[in-house]
Amino acid sequence: MAAFLESPPLFNCNHLLFSSSTRKTFVTITPCSASSSVPTPPSPKNSAGESTDPNSQKPFRDRRKIVRLAWEKLVRWSRSWRSRSRTDVLQSTNKVVVLGGGSFGTAMAAHVANRKADLEVHMLLRDPLVCQSINDNHFNCKYFPEHKLPDNVIASTDPKTALLGADYCLHAVPVQSSSSFLKGIAEFVDPGLPFISLSKGLELNTLRMMSQIIPRALENSRQPFVALSGPSFALELMNKLPTAMVVASKDKKLANAAQQLLASSHLRISTSSDVTGVEIAGALKNVLAIAAGIVEGMNLGNNSMAALVAQGCSEIRWLATKMGAKPATIMGLSGTGDIMLTCFVNLSRNRTVGLRLGSGEKLDDILCSMNQVAEGVSTAGAVIALAQKYNVKMPVLTAVARIIDNELTPKKAVLELMRLPQVEEV
């Protein structure tokens, strides 16, 4: 109040406000709260020490009511959405072919086969021993010797048999081998067969992503394409643990169809039209995971790890946006989500390579001892060329490439990175 009062209450001098905007001085006086000057009697309590004053419990009850109503609203929305969602894609799908018999290809084959009992899931493999193991015993003896595959998973080394009549194709061949593999089976691929790519990386010499590799190798620029990516370890998918991924396609109807085909009670599938963002994030996160493993192997501590991964995320975002990707994609499941999983969890093949490099092992020895492909090793070689092409500075990812090329030791790389100019964060 800015007026005289005949019986003024207690006043708090800290609330005197002076205005210097005019020659006059105004004083605003705010009454003190009772708690600051006049003690209030304690609330009555029961024998357990809990307050029995109904007014003291009101804010808590109101807050609980708001939370409950918010959750009920979410559940109602979910039920309404599910009731409208179409499932005719799965119902009309009779055969799915999976190219490649690695860990993730096998896990996805099992997942799709479990979606529908009479769905034929054919795995096209190059290893006859693995093929026989799947057909005779329902186990992938090389990657999942303890996980039984559904009976409707069939393995074959014959591309014509595997591809004939397929409604969808899951491509799980490593990126560096994809072109030659696809050229060898191109004559058996239907021009309208949708390809859902599970492979992540960049072709070393051409810098192409899978969305470019597949149509070029099949000599069909209109081959339907979907990229599947997100934080997903094959073992956890095989064990039916809750997982969330993204399918990206320029064809919205195709993305929705892939979503319906793959989504289940333990696998959430979101859709996106940003194919470039999903693919480039999925490729470069493998290189960043090697860097994270190096930090772990050198015992550089948690501060270093957090700083390195944050810097790497920024570098991926800089490049991806220059290539036309949406920043929101890099912050989503296929970007930050996949980066966190690959950089911080020991199941990551790329992180394991980095950890062993940071511990002093030679790259050739590391790769010879692994039975799975660490895509980041090959992709790192494409990073420098890609950064130069789009005029983007990528110090962390470039350092990984130089370490892999044996041009820089991990210790020297750390020293060089720490000596970079102190600049404004972008």
Residue spans of the domains in the chain: they are 88-273, 278-419
Sign of CA dihedral 253, 255, 257, 260: negative
Listed range (37-46, 129-138, 175-184, 344-353) with the worst mean pLDDT: 37-46
**8 A C-beta contact, residue 246 and residue 294:** no
**8 A C-beta contact, residue 244 and residue 268:** yes
**Who has greater pLDDT, 20 or 292?**
292
Residue 127: φ, ψ to 5°: -95, 110
Listed range (44-53, 92-101, 115-124, 182-191) with the worst mean pLDDT: 44-53
pLDDT at position 40: 56
Q: How far, in Å, CA of 30 to CA of 13, rounded?
A: 8
Model confidence at 102, pLDDT cuts 50, 70, 90, reads very high
285 is catalytic: yes
Write down the H helix ranges in 85-127: 88-92, 103-115
Residue type, 21: S
pLDDT at position 366: 93
pLDDT at position 16: 41
Looking at 183, 252, 285, 326, which residue is catalytic? 285
The pLDDT tens digits for 151-165 are 999 999 999 999 999
- With 90 as the cut, is the pLDDT of residue 414 above it? yes
Return the SS3 of 250. coil
CATH (residue range 278-419)? 1.10.1040.10
pTM of the model: 0.82
What's the rounded mean pLDDT across residues 107-112?
98
Q: How does the average pLDDT of the chain come out, rounded? A: 88
CB-based contacts of 286, cutoff 8 Å, min separation 6: 200, 201, 342, 350, 374, 375, 376, 379
What's the rounded mean pLDDT across residues 20-31?
44
**8 A C-beta contact, residue 169 and residue 210:** no
Q: How far, in Å, CA of 91 to CA of 126, rounded?
A: 30
Q: Would you identify the CATH topology of the domain 88-273?
A: Rossmann fold (3.40.50)
The candidate with the shortest Cα–Cα distance to 153, out of 168, 136, 167, is: 136
The candidate with the shortest Cα–Cα distance to 321, out of 411, 252, 390, 399, is: 390
Residue 17, judged by CB atoms within 10 A of its CB (0-12, 13-18, 19+), counts as: exposed
pLDDT at position 36: 46
CB-based contacts of 217, cutoff 8 Å, min separation 6: 178, 179, 182, 183, 186
pLDDT at position 141: 95
Spatial strand order in the sheet of 243-248: 153-156, 120-124, 95-99, 168-171, 195-197, 225-229, 243-248, 267-272
The candidate with the shortest Cα–Cα distance to 228, out of 338, 374, 386, 86, is: 338
